[in-house]
């Protein structure tokens, strides 16, 4: 993966790659029942040349955690026409057959539409925080074959999959296919930012 291409992929964390990534109607678990993965708390970053992306996890007000996503780079700033691109999410985790998933519900600057869930696969290793998106072609093909309820919009290489399957059906699909077959791998790892007064996890209120 080239640096320029990996940067474009990373920029999509805030906006679901302008609707190119699959979305689902249901999260993998309820936020009120989900435990917080305290390993995530704190700040993580990716720096490439003059571009930096940071995710900061803190104890949540509406659930186990909240995540703030920030991008600082001229090319990314052009998207929002401002110096910093940012999003704030309610965040909670789900474990499926030993694999960790992160459910993200957009809170700011504009709440996510009802019935549009964002789900990532993640792992914390010696290299840092690894993340992976649901892969569009895999999900689109599964919908077309009737393996997963949903709708595919667009044609050719520009398609967007909207999964309408129930939570149970989506979990069954992930278990049957295997997380590695449904979620991408190979994104650059987020490195932990050493705690300082500015990035230390805030106390829960």
Hey, where are the domains in the chain? 3-16+23-135+180-191
In sequence order, the 6+-apart residues with CB closer than 8 A to the CB of 30 are: none
Question: Closest Cα partner for 53 from 80, 21, 85?
Answer: 85
Average pLDDT, the chain: 80
3-state secondary structure of 4: helix
Which own/partner pairs from 176-179 qualify as long-range (CB within 8 Å, at least 24 positions apart)? 177/138, 177/142, 179/96, 179/97, 179/99, 179/101, 179/121
In sequence order, the 6+-apart residues with CB closer than 8 A to the CB of 129 are: 40, 44, 55, 122, 123, 189, 190, 191, 192
- Report pLDDT for 159: 80
Which own/partner pairs from 47-50 qualify as long-range (CB within 8 Å, at least 24 positions apart)? 48/3, 48/6, 48/7, 48/188, 49/3, 50/74
Query: Considering the domain 3-16+23-135+180-191 in this protein, what is its CATH number?
Result: 2.40.128
For the chain, give the percent of residues with pLDDT over 90: 45
Mean pLDDT over 19-25 rounds to 77
- Report pLDDT for 144: 95
- Report pLDDT for 77: 46
> With the CA atoms of 132, 134, 135 and 141 taken in that order, what torsion angle do they form, in degrees rounded to the nearest 10?
160
Residues in the chain: 205
Report whether pLDDT(200) > 70.
no
- Report pLDDT for 115: 63
């Amino acid at each position: 993966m080239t640096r320029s291409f990996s940067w474009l992929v990373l920029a999509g964390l805030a906006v679901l790659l302008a609707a190119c990534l699959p979305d689902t109607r249901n999260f993998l678990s309820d936020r009120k029942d989900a435990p917080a993965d305290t390993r995530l708390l704190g700040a993580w970053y990716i720096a490439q040349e003059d571009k930096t992306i940071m995710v900061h996890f803190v104890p949540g007000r509406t659930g186990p955690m909240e995540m703030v996503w920030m991008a600082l780079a001229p090319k990314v700033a052009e998207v929002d026409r401002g110096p910093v691109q940012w999003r704030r999410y309610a965040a909670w985790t789900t474990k499926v057959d030993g694999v960790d998933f992160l459910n993200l519900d957009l809170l700011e600057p504009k709440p996510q539409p009802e019935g549009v869930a964002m789900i990532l696969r993640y792992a914390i290793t010696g290299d840092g925080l690894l993340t992976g998106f649901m892969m569009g072609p895999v999900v689109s093909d599964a919908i077309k074959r009737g393996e997963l309820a949903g709708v595919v919009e667009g044609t050719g290489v520009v398609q967007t999959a909207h999964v309408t399957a129930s939570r149970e059906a989506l979990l069954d699909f992930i278990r049957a296919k295997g997380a590695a077959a449904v979620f991408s791998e190979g994104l650059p790892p987020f490195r932990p930012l050493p705690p300082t007064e500015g990035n230390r996890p805030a106390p829960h209120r």
